[in-house]
Structure 1
Amino acid sequence: MRTPRGLAAIGVVAVLAVLVAGCSGTPEVGPTGPRVTPSPAPSGAGPEPSAGAGPSGPATVDVVDGSDVATGLRAPWGLAALADGRVLVTSRDDARLVVVRPDGRVLDVTGPGAAQLAEQVVHRGEGGLLGVAVLGDARGGPLDVVLYATTAQDNRVLRGTLDGTTLSALRPVLTGIPAADHHDGGRLAVGPDGYLYVTTGDAGRTSRSQDVDDLGGKILRITADGEPAEGNPFPGSPVWSLGHRNVQGIGWAPDGRMFAAEFGQSTWDEVNVIRPGANYGWPLVEGMGGADQGFVDPVAVWATSDASPSGLAVTAEGVYVAGLRGERLWRLPLLAAGGADADGVGEPHALLTGELGRLRAVAALGDGDLLVLTNNTDGRGRPRAGDDRLVRLTVR
Structure 2
Amino acid sequence: MRSRLVLGSLALTLGAATGCASNTPAPLPRTTQPTDLPSQPTPSDSPTDQSGESDESGEQQGRDRAPRAEGTLVDLLEVPWGVDFLPDGAAVVTERISGRVLQVSAEGRLSRLGAISSTVPQGEAGLLGVAVSPDFETDRTLFFYVTTSQDNRVVKAELDGDGLGETSVVLDGIPAGFIHDGGRIAFGPDGHLYVTTGETGDPELAQDPDSLAGKILRITTDGDPAPGNPDPASPVWSLGHRNVQGLAWDDEGRLWASEFGDSEWDELNLVEKGGNYGWPEVEGTGGGSDFIDPQLVWPVDQASPSGLAYADGRLWMAGLRGQRLWRIDVSAAGEASRPTAFFTEDYGRLRTVATAPDGMLWVTTSNKDGRGNPTPADDRIIRIRP
Flag whether TM exceeds 0.5 (same fold): yes
Counterpart AA for 1:160 = A
**Distance (whole Å) between structure 2 residues aligned to residue 379 and residue 332 of structure 1:** 29
- Show the counterpart of 1:377: 368
SS in 1 for 2:364: strand
One-letter code aligned to 1:330: W
> What residue is the counterpart of 1:262 in the other structure?
259
Q: In the alignment, which residue of structure 2 is the partner of 1:289?
A: 286
2:342 aligned with 1:344? no
Distance 1:242 1:211 in 2: 8
1:325 lines up with 2:353 in the alignment: no
* Residue 392 (structure 1) shift: 0.9
| 2:43 equivalent to 1:15 | yes
> What number of residue pairs does the alignment pair up?
348
Alpha-carbon distance in 1 for matches of 2:69, 2:350: 17
On the 8 A contact 1:4/1:391 being kept in 2, the answer is no
Shift of 1:86: 0.8
Paired with 1:134 and 1:187, the residues of 2 have a C-alpha distance of: 13
C-alpha distance after superposition, 1:327-366 (max 9, x if no partner): 00011112111xxxxx422221101111111000001123
Q: Secondary structure at the match of 1:184?
A: coil
Match of 1:229 among 216, 226, 237: 226
Residues 24-51 of structure 1: per-residue CA shift (max 9 Å, x gap): xxxxxxxxx346699xxxxxxxxxxxxx
Question: Over residues 206-255 of structure 1, what are the superposed CA-to-partner deviations in whole Å (9 max), with x where a residue is unaligned?
Answer: 11111111100000000000000000012210000000000000010010
Task: Write the distance in 2 (CA, Å) between the matches of 1:248 and 1:266.
Answer: 17
Distance, in Å, in 1 between the alignment partners of 2:89 and 2:135 is 11
> Where does residue 67 of structure 1 map in the other structure?
71
1:23 equivalent in structure 2: none
The structure 1 residue matched to 2:94, chosen from 90, 97, 113, is 90
Residue of structure 2 in register with 1:25 after alignment: none
- Superposed, which structure 2 residues align to 1:29-68 within 5 Å? 33-34=47-48, 60-68=64-72
Aligned AA (2:351): R
- Equivalent of residue 377 in structure 2, options 382, 386, 394: 386
Tell me how far 1:81 sits from its aligned partner. Answer: 2.1
What amino acid is aligned across from residue 121 of structure 1 in structure 2?
T
- In structure 2, the gaps of 5 or more residues are 1-31, 53-59
CA distance in 2, matches of 1:187, 1:62: 27
What is aligned with 2:105? 101
Alignment of 1:123-134 (within 5 A): 123-134=121-132
Contact 1:36 1:300 in 2 (8 A): no
| Structure 2 counterparts to residues 195-274 of structure 1, below 5 A | 195-274=192-271
Residue 304 in structure 1 maps to residue 300 in structure 2: yes
Against the structure 1 CA distance between its residues 302 and 144, is the aligned structure 2 distance closer, same or farther, given a 3 Å change threshold?
same
Change (3 A) 1:373 1:184: same
Q: Secondary structure at the match of 1:209?
A: helix
Q: CA RMSD in A?
A: 2.0
CA offsets per residue over residues 155-190 of structure 1, 9 Å max, x none? 000011013431111001100000000001000000
Match in the other structure for 1:52: none
Task: Specify the alignment match of 1:2 in structure 2.
Answer: 33
- After superposition, the Cα gap between the structure-2 partners of 1:187 and 1:149, relative to the gap in structure 1 and judged at 3 Å, is same
Deviates more, 1:374-383 or 1:160-169: 160-169
Give distance in 1, aligned partners of 2:370 and 2:70.
25
Alpha-carbon separation, structure 2, partners of 1:137 and 1:74: 29
Q: Secondary structure at the match of 1:310?
A: strand
Shift of residue 267, structure 1, vs aligned partner:
0.5
Contact 2:48 2:339 survives alignment (8 Å): no
Aligned match of 2:273 in 269, 272, 276?
276
Query: How far 1:316 moved relative to its partner?
Result: 4.0
TM-score w.r.t. length of structure 1: 0.84
| Residue 361 of structure 1: aligned partner | 352
Structure 2 residue identity aligned to 1:351 = F
C-alpha distance in 2, partners of 1:14/1:352? 7
Consecutive aligned runs of 4 or more in structure 1 exceeding 6 Å deviation? 56-59
